[in-house]
Amino acid sequence: MHQLLRAVFGPGFFASPQVHVAVSIGAVVAVVSAVTGVFTVMRGQSFAGHALGDVSAAGGSGALLLGLTPLPGFVGAGIAGAGVMDMIGVQRLRGRDLATGIVLGVAIGCSALFLYLGTTSGSTTGATQQILFGSIFTTTPGTVAAVAVLGVVALASIAAIARPLLLSTLSPDIAAARGAPVRLAGLLFMLALAVSVALSALAIGAILSTALLIGPAAAALRVTKTLPRALVTACLTGVAATWLGILLAYDSYYWGSGHQILPVSFFVVAIIFATYLVAGLPAARAARRRPGPGRGVTHEPAAAAGMGARCSRAS
Amino acid sequence: MTDHSRAAVTPEILRVDQVSVSLAGRQILDDVSFTVQAGEFTGLIGPNGAGKTTLLRVILGLQRPATGRVEILGQPRSLRHQPIGYVPQKVLLDPDMPIRARDLVALGLDGNRYGIRLPSRGRGEAVRSMLHAVDADRFADARVGSLSGGEQQRVLIAHALISRPRLLLLDEPLANLDLRSGQEVIALLARIAREQQIAVLLSAHEMNPLLPVMDRVVYLAGGRAASGPTDQVVTGEVLTRLYGHHVDVLHVHGRILVVAGAAGDEAPAVDGSVAHEAAAAGPAAGAG
């Protein structure tokens, strides 16, 4: 038993302060990303989420260039980007896509410049790696509190406007006609999304933040029928994937003779992808078993009855 | 053509008064006026592009009219706490959405509120009885996106009705339904209007399915409207005036066909939507 534990958890895993920080930050980031992600997937705003990751990268690399830690850069740029995207036009679906694309282009350009300047000036070695692919093992313990506070703010924002957000996702017209705060809900959600992506950028990198945002949520939506269950499942999936990724990255030091820690981000993203595929199995199997259109699951008798009525009326 | 004798008996729910709307320089509605009384079933009829959706959006307050005004229960309309239920033409109901029929109906009660919903037995009971009222009990726990068009329509009607509105607006609810589902939805709406004294205003490009239940018609064409009892409004004389060119109204086996075309034309053109309906009704008429 002891041997097995030693084999699974590499030597010093539980004693390592870096692991403590990584596990704490990883849990907060995974939960915030999962909750935000479920709404992002439902609202069809995955592209906006990805763009905000690129905006965060610009902010993070800019912060490094100024000699700051990346987190304030990630968050500041993300919120500014979300505000601009909301301003340019998130009202209409098409406008939303255009706004996202325009902001994304500017952000990547800035990242390219900042990271180039950072690398050539030589003061910040590994900046590219840190910004694009995360720094969960090198984050200072002091950052944990900031991450927790930001996480709570993002979750509280979503909780405050959850119902108008849901209603306007289903139909902006119904929501507006009911007097629901559609504009405010959309804006607050964009801000929560920006914070969530910024936190995720810190953990697994700006470029990969989309994976933690969308993956667990998409997997959860495949296997659950109600929103609360989707949220819980997405959170559990995200936390499990993040922790497992941290463990595997830690263990990778002892694999072979290379003695280097492979990127956490790779493991997290690989686990999420595998989970998403597995989550699709039940539906795929059900579809194979039930040939034909296979949309209705619970009400085939009704359709049959309808057919019967139509036939009897015609005869 | 306002029916004054009726207004004295039943309260006036909706008054649309000389409403005009221009969008992008094009006049969509031109001096439209009509009233709707409690318990009445009114059909908002007109060809595609006649301005039906725009008119509904004006009533809902989603579109500001250039001139004219809308009164609900004798008050100028305000966006908060308005007693209107709305079933839009298009709702994003993806099969992936983790929203069951009962969840959507519950959102009709409190979807405009801030904060997270706390459990409440009263709300569950209200949702259950509302689903029962629209005959949707058996798919209450199915994802809305997995339901058929007619079933979704019922759930959306329940969603609109659960806040106890005095006026129910429906934008082309029959557009994507087969004949039978459409008739069921219409029968349901007529029953609700009668039992709960709700005014129903339903837009459609085809009036024949509504003839058995429609108390009044608001006919829109070319941005202008005529309203009143069906047999007074849907006449060659009135519609010719609305359309601005010669229109014949034919009564065939209890159905109404609106046929457009100037006198002397070689082949009179049947209005597109009406021709479509006539063709669709062909086999049914033959079988009957």
**Which residues on A lie below 8 Å from B62 (Cβ)?**
173, 176-177
Residue % of chain A over a pLDDT of 70? 87
Closest residue in B to A224 (Cα–Cα): B98
- Which helix (H) or strand (E) covers residue A188, if one does? helix A182-204
- Taking a C-beta distance cutoff of 8 angstroms, is the pair A251, A10 a contact? yes
Are both B17 and B62 inside the same structural domain? yes
Question: A26-35, B107-116, B145-154, B279-288: which has the minimum mean pLDDT?
Answer: B279-288
CB within 8 Å: A295 and B114: no
Q: What pLDDT does residue B262 have?
A: 56
Are both B17 and B128 inside the same structural domain? no
Tokens, residue A54: 């690129």
Query: What are A189-211's pLDDT values in tens digits?
Result: 999 999 999 999 998 988 889 99
Residue B128 lies in a domain: yes
Neighbours of A294 (CB within 10 A): 13
Residue B288 lies in a domain: no
Higher pLDDT residue, A290 or A211?
A211
Are both B169 and B158 inside the same structural domain? no
Higher pLDDT residue, B231 or A283?
B231
Domain that holds residue B142: 93-162
Spell out the domain ranges in chain A: 16-314
Structural domains counted in chain B: 2
Name residue B7's amino acid: A
Please determine, for residue A54, whether its predicted confidence score (pLDDT) is greater than 60.
Answer: yes
Out of B79, B92, B138, name the one closest to residue A179 (CB).
B79
Residue linked to tokens 């601009």? A84
Are both B68 and B123 inside the same structural domain? no
CB within 8 Å: A174 and B88: yes
Out of B82, B99, B142, name the one closest to residue A299 (CB).
B142
Residue B193 lies in a domain: yes
Query: B266 at the A interface (CB within 8 A)?
Result: no
Q: Please, which pLDDT band fits residue B176 given cuts at 50, 70 and 90? A: confident
Are both B45 and B62 inside the same structural domain? yes
Interatomic CA distance for residues B53 and B50, integer angstroms: 9
Alpha carbon A150 to its chain centroid, in Å, reads 15
- Taking a C-beta distance cutoff of 8 angstroms, is the pair A70, A140 a contact? no
Query: A161 at the B interface (CB within 8 A)?
Result: yes
Domain boundary among B224, B240, B256: B240
**Spatial CA neighbour of A267 closest among A205, A199, A189:** A205
Name residue B67's amino acid: T
Higher pLDDT residue, B155 or B119?
B155
Closest residue in B to A182 (Cα–Cα): B112
Q: Please, which pLDDT band fits residue B211 given cuts at 50, 70 and 90? A: very high
**Which residues on A lie below 8 Å from B91 (Cβ)?**
170-171, 174
Q: What pLDDT does residue B11 have?
A: 83
Half-sphere exposure of residue A281, counting CA atoms within 13 Å on the CB side?
A: 5
Please determine, for residue B2, whether its predicted confidence score (pLDDT) is greater than 50.
Answer: no
Residue B264 lies in a domain: no
Q: Under CATH, domain A16-314 is a member of which superfamily?
A: ABC transporter involved in vitamin B12 uptake, BtuC (1.10.3470.10)
Residue B123 lies in a domain: yes
Query: What are B55-80's pLDDT values in tens digits?
Result: 999 999 889 999 999 999 888 877 66
- Average model confidence (pLDDT) across chain A: 85
Q: What pLDDT does residue A279 have?
A: 92
Domain boundary among B199, B224, B240: B240
Interface of B with A in 85-104 (CB under 8 A): 86, 88, 90-100, 103-104
Maximum C-alpha span of chain A: 86
Mean pLDDT of B13-32: 92
Instruction: Return the exposure string of B124-157: e unless at least 16 CB atoms fall within 10 Å of the residue's CB, then b.
Output: eebbeebbebbebeebbebbbbbbbebbbbbbbb
CATH code (residue B211): 3.40.50.300
Are both B178 and B226 inside the same structural domain? yes
Tokens, residue A127: 């900046």
Residue B266 lies in a domain: no
Measure in Å the smallest separation between the Cα of B235 and chain A Cα atoms. 31
Are both B155 and B28 inside the same structural domain? no
Residue B43 lies in a domain: yes
Domain boundary among B115, B134, B162: B162
Residue B232 lies in a domain: yes
**Spatial CA neighbour of B104 closest among B68, B69, B142:** B142
Q: What pLDDT does residue A90 have?
A: 53
